[in-house]
Amino acid sequence: MDIVQRIVSGDVRTIARLLRDIDDELPSARSVLQGLYPHTGKAHIVGFTGSPGVGKSSLVDQIATFYRKESKTVGILAVDPTSPFTGGAILGDRIRMQRHFLDPGVFIRSLATRGQFGGLSKSTNDMVNVLDAAGKDLVLVETVGVGQDEVEIANSAHTTVLVMIPGMGDDIQAIKAGVMEIGNIFVVNKADREGSRKTVRELMNLVELGVRRRNGDDWEPQIIETEAVKGRGIDKLCQTIEDHKAYLKATGSQRWRETVEKRTRIQLMGALRDRVLKAVLEKIEQRGDSIDNMVAKIVDRQSDPYTVVQQIVESVLT
Amino acid sequence: MGKQIISESALDRIEKEHAEWLEEYRKALAKVPKRLERFSTVSDLEVNQLYTPLDTQRRDFFEQIGFPGKYPYTRGVQSTMYRGRHWTMRMFAGMGNADDTNKRFHYLINHGETGLSTAFDFPTLMGYDSASPLARGECGKCGVAIDTLDDMGRLFANINLEEVTTSMTINPPASVLWAMYIANAERQGFSRKKLGGTIQNDCLKEFIAQKTLMLPPEASLRLVTDTVEFGTKEVPRWNTISISGYHIREAGATAVQELAFTIYDGITYVEEAIKRGLKVDDFAARLSFFWNSHIDFFEEIAKMRASRRMWARIMKERFGAKNPKSMLMRFHTQTAGCSLTAQEPYNNVVRTTTEALAAVLGGTQSLHTNSLDEVYMIPSEQAALIALRTQQIIAEETGVTNVIDPLGGSYFVEALTDKMEQEAMAYIRKLDELGGMVAAIERDYPQMEIADAAFHFQKQVEAGDKTVIGVNKYASDRPELEFVLKIDDQIEREQIERTERFKEKRDKVGFQKAMDELVRRCEGPPCWNNNVMPALIEAVRAGATEQECCDLYRNVFGTYTDPGSF
Amino acid sequence: MANARNLRILVAKPGLDGHDRGARIVARAFRDAGFEVIYTGCHQTPEQIVSTAIQEDVDLIGLSILSGAHRYSFPRVLELLRENNAEDISVIGGGIFPLEDIPVLKEAGIKELFEPGAKLSDIIEWVGKNIIPRREA
Ligand SMILES: Nc1nc2c(ncn2[C@@H]2O[C@H](COP(=O)(O)OP(=O)(O)OP(=O)(O)O)[C@@H](O)[C@H]2O)c(=O)[nH]1
Ligand SMILES: [Mg+2]
pLDDT per position as a tens digit, A99-128: 999 999 999 999 999 988 888 888 999 999
Quick check: A99 contacting B, CB < 8 Å?
no
Looking at residue B32, its pLDDT comes to 85
- Compute the distance between CA of residue B514 and CA of residue B179 in angstroms, rounded to an integer: 13
| Chain A positions in Cβ-Cβ contact with residue B216 (cut-off 8 Å) | 229
> Between B and C, how many residue pairs show a Cβ–Cβ distance under 8 A?
104
**Nearest atom in ligand 1 to A80's CA:** 23
Q: Say which CATH architecture domain B72-463 belongs to.
A: Alpha-Beta Barrel (3.20)
Nearest ligand 1 atom to alpha carbon B216? 29
The backbone torsions φ and ψ at residue A161, rounded to the nearest 5 degrees and listed phi first, read -110, 120
Ligand nearest to the CA of A61: 1
For the Cβ of A57 lying below 6 angstroms from any atom of ligand 1, the answer is yes
Asked if B558's CB is within 8 angstroms of A90's CB, the reply is no
Looking at residue C97, its pLDDT comes to 86
Annotate B287-307 with b (16+ C-beta within 10 A) or e (fewer): bbbbbbbbbbbbbbbbbbbbb
Mean per-residue pLDDT for B255-272? 98
What integer pLDDT is reported at residue B446 of this predicted model? 96
- Taking phi first (over 0 means left), then psi (-120 to 50 degrees means alpha), and beta for anything else, what does residue C34 get? left
Question: Looking at residue A146, what is its pLDDT?
Answer: 61
In angstroms, how far is CA A291 from the centroid of its own chain?
Answer: 31
pLDDT band per the 50, 70, 90 thresholds, residue A212: low
Q: What is the mean pLDDT of chain A?
A: 89
What's the burial of A292, exposed, middle or buried (CB within 10 Å: 0-12/13-18/19+)? exposed
CA–CA distance, B142 with B173 (Å, rounded to integer): 17
- pLDDT at site A53: 87
The mean pLDDT of chain B is: 94
pLDDT value for C92: 97
Q: Using DSSP, state whether B343 is helix, strand or coil.
A: coil
What CATH number is attached to the domain comprising A117? 3.40.50.300
What phi and psi values does residue B240 have, to the nearest 5 degrees?
Answer: -85, -15
**In a shared domain, residues A276 and A233:** no
Whether ipTM > 0.90 holds is yes
For chain C, which chains pass the contact test of at least 3 CB pairs under 8 Å?
A, B
Closest CA to B74 of B414, B422, B424, B425: B414
At B409, which amino acid appears?
A: G
Residue window 7-26, chain A: list those with CB within 8 Å of chain C.
12-14, 16-21, 23-26
CB-side exposure of A215: number of CA atoms within 13 Å? 0
A295 and A157 both lie in a single domain: no
Domain of residue A298, residue span: 269-316
Domain with residue C62: its CATH number is 3.40.50.280
Residue B553 touches partner A, C-beta closer than 8 Å: no
Give per-residue pLDDT as tens, B207-252.
999 999 999 999 999 999 999 999 999 999 999 999 999 999 999 9
Which residues of chain A have a CB within 8 Å of the CB of C47? 101-102
Q: Which of C8, C99, C107 is nearest to C62 (CA)?
A: C8
Q: Answer yes or no: is A3 within a domain.
A: no
Closest ligand 1 atom to residue A230 Cα is 31
pTM over 0.95: no
Residues A216 and A68 grouped into a single domain: yes
Check if A62 has its Cβ closer than 6 Å to any atom of ligand 1: no
Interface of B with A in 435-464 (CB under 8 A): 443-444
> Is residue B54 within 8 Å of residue B14, measured between CB atoms?
yes
B563 lines ligand 1 (CB under 6 A): yes
> What b/e string do you get for B351-367 counting C-beta neighbours within 10 Å, with b at 16 or more?
bbbbbbbbbbbbbbbbb
What pLDDT digit, counting tens, does each position of C86-125 carry?
999 999 999 988 888 899 999 999 999 998 888 999 999 9
- Would the CB atoms of A86 and C36 count as touching at under 8 Å? no
Flag whether residue C77 sits within 8 Å of chain A, measured between CB atoms: no
Q: What is the DSSP letter of A158?
A: S
pLDDT beyond 80 at A172: no
Lowest mean pLDDT among A272-286, B503-517, C120-134: A272-286
If asked whether residues A280 and A200 sit together in one domain, one would say no
pLDDT value of position A91: 95
What range defines the domain where residue C43 resides?
Answer: 4-130
> A-chain residues within 8 Å CB-CB of B558?
229-230
Domain count within chain C:
1
Q: Is residue C63 part of a domain?
A: yes
A137 and A181 both lie in a single domain: yes
Does residue C39 lie in a domain region?
A: yes
Cβ-in-10-Å burial (0-12, 13-18, 19+) of A243 comes to middle
Q: Cβ contact (<8 Å) for A230 and B560?
A: no
pLDDT for position B2:
47
Rg value, chain B, Cα: 24
Q: Which of A238, A237, A227, A233 is nearest to A191 (CA)?
A: A227
Query: Per-residue pLDDT tens for C25-40?
Result: 999 999 999 999 999 9
Mean pLDDT score, B358-365: 98
Of B134-138, B165-169, B341-345, give the range with the top mean pLDDT.
Answer: B165-169
Ligand nearest to the CA of A94: 2
Q: With beta carbons less than 8 A apart as the criterion, state whether A46 and A217 touch.
A: no
Flag whether C78 is in a domain: yes
Please, which pLDDT band fits residue C1 given cuts at 50, 70 and 90? Answer: very low
Nearest CB to B342; choose among C21, C116, C120: C116
Q: Point out the residue among A16, A29, A102 whose CB comes nearest to the CB of C57.
A: A16
CA A163 to ligand 1: nearest atom: 19
Are the Cβ atoms of C42 and B458 closer than 8 angstroms? no
Would you tell me how many other CB atoms lie within 10 Å of the CB of residue C104?
15
Q: What is the mean pLDDT of residues A310-314?
A: 89
pLDDT band at B442 (very low <50, low <70, confident <90, very high): confident
A231-235, B87-91, B306-310: least confidently modelled range: B87-91
How close is the Cα of A94 to the center of ligand 2, in Å?
8
Mapping DSSP to helix (H, G, I), strand (E, B) and coil, where does residue B92 land? strand
Structure confidence by residue, pLDDT tens digits, B98-118:
999 999 999 989 988 888 999
Residues of C in contact with B142 (CB under 8 A): 17, 67-68
Q: Is B480 a residue whose pLDDT tops 50?
A: yes
Q: Are residues A182 and A301 in the same domain?
A: no
Give pLDDT, residue B374: 87
CA distance B500 to B511: 15
> Residue B64 carries which side chain, given as an amino acid letter?
Q
| Mean pLDDT score, B121-125 | 96
Q: Is the CB of A93 under 6 A from ligand 1?
A: yes
Rounded to a whole number, what is the distance in angstroms from the first to the last CA of chain C? 19
Ligand 1, atom 14: closest residue by C-alpha: A55
Q: Which long-range contacts (CB under 8 A, 24 or more apart) does C124-131 make?
A: C124/C29, C124/C30, C124/C33, C126/C92, C127/C7, C127/C9, C127/C30, C127/C33, C127/C35, C127/C60, C127/C92, C128/C33, C130/C90, C131/C7, C131/C59, C131/C60, C131/C90
Contacts 24+ apart (CB under 8 A), B442-445: B442/B217, B442/B563, B443/A53, B443/B563, B444/A53, B444/B563, B444/B564, B444/B565
pLDDT at residue number B91: 86
How many residues are given for chain C?
Answer: 137
Q: Which residues of B touch A95 (CB under 8 A)?
A: 561-562, 564
A261-284 pLDDT, tens digit per residue, is 988 998 899 889 988 998 899 888
B305 in Cβ contact with B329 (< 8 Å): no
Return the amino acid letter for C57.
D
Provide the residue type at B14 as one letter: I
How many A from CA of A303 to the centre of ligand 1? 53
Mean pLDDT to the nearest integer, B401-417: 96
A309 inside 8 A of chain B by CB = no
| Chains contacting B (3 or more CB pairs within 8 Å) | A, C
Q: Predicted confidence band at B180 (pLDDT cuts at 50, 70, 90)?
A: very high
pLDDT class of C67 with cuts at 50, 70, 90: confident
Does residue C55 belong to the interface with chain A, where contact is any CB pair within 8 Å? yes
pLDDT recorded at residue C3: 46
| Mean pLDDT of the region B245-270 | 98
**Range of lowest pLDDT (B179-188, C33-42, C64-73, C103-112):** C64-73
Residue B1 predicted with pLDDT over 50: no
Domain definitions of chain B by residue range: 72-463
- Amino acid in position B408: G
Same domain as A117, residue A50: yes
Inter-residue contact A116 to A167 (CB < 8 Å): no
3-state class (DSSP) for residue B335: strand
Q: Is the Cβ of C28 closer than 8 Å to some Cβ of chain A?
A: yes
Nearest-CA distance A83 → chain B (Å) = 12
Torsion of CA C131, C133, C134, C137, to 10 degrees: 180
Give me the pLDDT at residue A263, please.
Answer: 87
pLDDT digits (tens, 9 = 90+) for A59-89: 999 999 999 999 999 999 999 999 989 999 9
In the beta sheet, which residues pair with residue B293?
B335
Provide the Cα torsion A122, A123, A125, A126; round to 10°.
150
Helix (H) or strand (E) holding A203: helix A196-213
For residues B391 and B136, give the distance between their C-alpha atoms in angstroms, rounded to a whole number: 36
For residues B434 and B440, is the Cβ–Cβ distance under 8 A? yes
Query: CB-based contacts of B448: which residues, under 8 Å, 6+ apart?
Result: B565, B566
Number of domains in chain A: 2
| C137, part of any domain | no
